[in-house]
């Protein structure tokens, strides 16, 4: 199941927004406006669904949910641009889908900015014009030069899948013994509490590392993701991380009386872990209270480590703070599980 999810989820969890439906209101019908519309139509991010000169007609497309953006080009646009060296455009955004609206607006502003720079570069070559100086900007994206979202998402999704395997299976382990009645047979043996917890933890710890290893291989085969850092760094941190997650699962299992109760509690924690992990939303953009909660989320640290090692090539020294925090999680959660496990009812 985790392997199938790893192959499917990165294809759907895409930060890029394409096929944004746009309607253009052209009240100028000049050469420059035609060039701008052609530039928008040629973009892979937009679908031009309507071109006219009535804003009310374009707004109807927004109200019927047939468009996300309206670009209104006012009259005398080209004349103002040539005579006054400035002109205004109006963009209306359908913000029902806030993410799509925001990114679509950003894409459109970038296209307009490129169009503005193109025509000013043409003016520079003409002796009749004296435009303002243009600053050329050259951008370089570190660690992910092509801005491939899969390089960013796949390591994080792999962390979630490893967490699900560890947390869910370990949470069901002890409580299953309670339901079938074998827990009483174990309790009368001379086995100590910490030995019992370790016996329940070690198999799933090994399984979690196997899932991580297979996931890294699939990431390389299907997405071409090769870790810039050492795989030993990834597995060293994963070994400590799994101790913390398995400790949480075993702790839930010691409190639960049925497998259904254990699954519901585990699902509750997983929802919080995923939403506050920084996988889909940057932690820095969250409210302050959410940022504080995120720092008590072990998934946050593993996702940060996976991206640091896989994309940046960080070493064990670079992730020493993350190692310390996850080790504290492992000690507290496993210690709590051992203390809470009662050999006598």
The pLDDT, as a whole number, for residue 344 is 58
The pLDDT, as a whole number, for residue 343 is 61
Mark whether 158 and 231 lie in a shared domain: yes
Mark whether 108 and 155 lie in a shared domain: no
Laid out side by side, the sheet with 90-93 consists of 46-52, 20-26, 69-73, 90-93
Mark whether 174 and 64 lie in a shared domain: no
Q: Quick one: pLDDT band at residue 72, thresholds 50, 70, 90?
A: very high
Mark whether 156 and 209 lie in a shared domain: yes
Lowest mean pLDDT among 53-67, 68-82, 133-147, 231-245: 133-147
The model's pLDDT over 151-164, given as tens digits with 9 standing for 90+, comes to: 888 999 999 999 98
Establish if 269 belongs to a structural domain.
yes
The pLDDT, as a whole number, for residue 2 is 79
The pLDDT, as a whole number, for residue 22 is 92
90, 124, 158 - which closes a domain = 124
The pLDDT, as a whole number, for residue 138 is 64
Q: Quick one: pLDDT band at residue 19, thresholds 50, 70, 90?
A: confident
Task: Report which of residues 127 and 57 the model is more confident about.
Answer: 57
Kindly state the tokens that stand for 43: 């973009």
Number of domains the chain contains: 2
The model's pLDDT over 100-133, given as tens digits with 9 standing for 90+, comes to: 777 888 889 889 988 888 887 776 655 555 555 4
Q: What CA–CA distance (Å, rounded) separates 88 from 15?
A: 30
The pLDDT, as a whole number, for residue 234 is 95
Lowest mean pLDDT among 44-48, 56-60, 143-147, 263-267: 143-147
What torsion do the CA atoms of 299, 305, 310, 316 make, to the nearest 10 degrees? Answer: -150
- Computed over every residue of the chain, the mean pLDDT equals 86
The mean per-residue pLDDT over the stretch 37-48 comes to: 90
Establish if 132 belongs to a structural domain.
no
Mark whether 118 and 161 lie in a shared domain: no
Establish if 88 belongs to a structural domain.
yes
The pLDDT, as a whole number, for residue 81 is 82
Mark whether 181 and 84 lie in a shared domain: no
The pLDDT, as a whole number, for residue 124 is 62
Q: What is the pTM of this model?
A: 0.76
Domain that holds residue 241: 149-340
The mean per-residue pLDDT over the stretch 68-88 comes to: 87
- Count CB atoms within 10 A of the CB of residue 302: 28
The pLDDT, as a whole number, for residue 125 is 58
Mark whether 30 and 174 lie in a shared domain: no
Mark whether 107 and 160 lie in a shared domain: no
59, 90, 124 - which closes a domain = 124
Kindly state the tokens that stand for 273: 């872990």
Lowest mean pLDDT among 64-73, 171-180, 247-256, 268-277: 171-180
Mark whether 103 and 153 lie in a shared domain: no
- Count CB atoms within 10 A of the CB of residue 63: 9
Task: Report which of residues 127 and 20 the model is more confident about.
Answer: 20
The pLDDT, as a whole number, for residue 331 is 95
Task: Report which of residues 133 and 213 the model is more confident about.
Answer: 213
The pLDDT, as a whole number, for residue 139 is 67
Compute the 3-state secondary structure of the chain and give helix, strand, coil in percent, each to the nearest 5. 65, 5, 30
Helix axes 149-180, 193-223, angle to 10 degrees: 150
Mark whether 157 and 273 lie in a shared domain: yes
Mark whether 317 and 173 lie in a shared domain: yes
Mark whether 174 and 309 lie in a shared domain: yes
Report the CATH number at residue 112. Answer: 3.40.1710.10
Q: Which long-range CB contacts under 8 A does 128-137 form with residues at least 24 apart?
A: 131/85, 132/85
- Gyration radius of the chain over CA positions: 28
- Whole-angstrom CA distances from 197 to 166, 248, 337 are 14, 12, 8
Handedness of CA 138, 140, 145, 151 (dihedral sign): negative
């Amino acid at each position: 199941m985790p392997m199938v999810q790893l192959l499917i989820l990165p294809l759907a969890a895409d930060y890029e927004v394409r096929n944004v439906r746009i309607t253009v209101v052209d009240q100028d019908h000049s050469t420059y406006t035609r060039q701008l519309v052609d530039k928008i139509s040629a973009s892979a991010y937009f679908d031009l669904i309507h071109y006219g000169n009535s804003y009310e007609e374009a707004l109807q497309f927004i109200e019927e949910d047939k468009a996300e953006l309206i670009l209104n080009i006012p009259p005398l646009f080209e004349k103002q641009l040539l005579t006054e060296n400035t002109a205004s455009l109006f963009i209306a955004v359908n913000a029902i889908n806030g993410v799509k609206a925001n990114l679509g607006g950003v894409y459109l502003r970038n296209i307009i900015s490129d169009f503005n720079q193109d025509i000013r570069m043409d003016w520079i070559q003409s002796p009749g014009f004296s435009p303002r100086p243009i600053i050329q900007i050259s951008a370089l994206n570190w660690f992910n030069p092509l801005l491939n979202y899969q390089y960013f998402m796949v390591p994080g999704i792999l962390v979630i899948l490893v967490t699900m395997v560890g947390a869910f299976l370990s949470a069901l382990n002890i409580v299953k013994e309670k339901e079938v009645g074998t827990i009483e047979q174990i309790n009368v043996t001379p086995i100590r509490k910490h030995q019992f917890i370790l016996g329940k933890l070690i198999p799933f710890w090994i399984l979690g590392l196997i899932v991580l290893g297979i996931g890294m291989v699939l990431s390389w085969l299907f997405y071409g993701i090769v870790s810039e850092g050492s795989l030993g760094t990834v597995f060293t941190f994963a070994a400590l991380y799994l101790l913390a997650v398995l400790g949480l699962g075993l702790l839930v299992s010691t409190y639960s009386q049925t497998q259904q109760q254990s699954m519901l509690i585990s699902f509750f924690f997983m929802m919080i872990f995923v939403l506050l992990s920084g996988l889909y939303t940057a932690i820095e953009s969250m409210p302050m209270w959410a940022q504080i909660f995120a720092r008590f989320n072990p998934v946050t640290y593993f996702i940060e480590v996976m991206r640091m090692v896989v994309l940046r090539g960080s070493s064990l020294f670079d992730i020493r703070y993350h190692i310390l925090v996850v080790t504290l999680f492992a000690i507290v959660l496993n210690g709590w599980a051992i203390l809470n496990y009662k050999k006598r009812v």
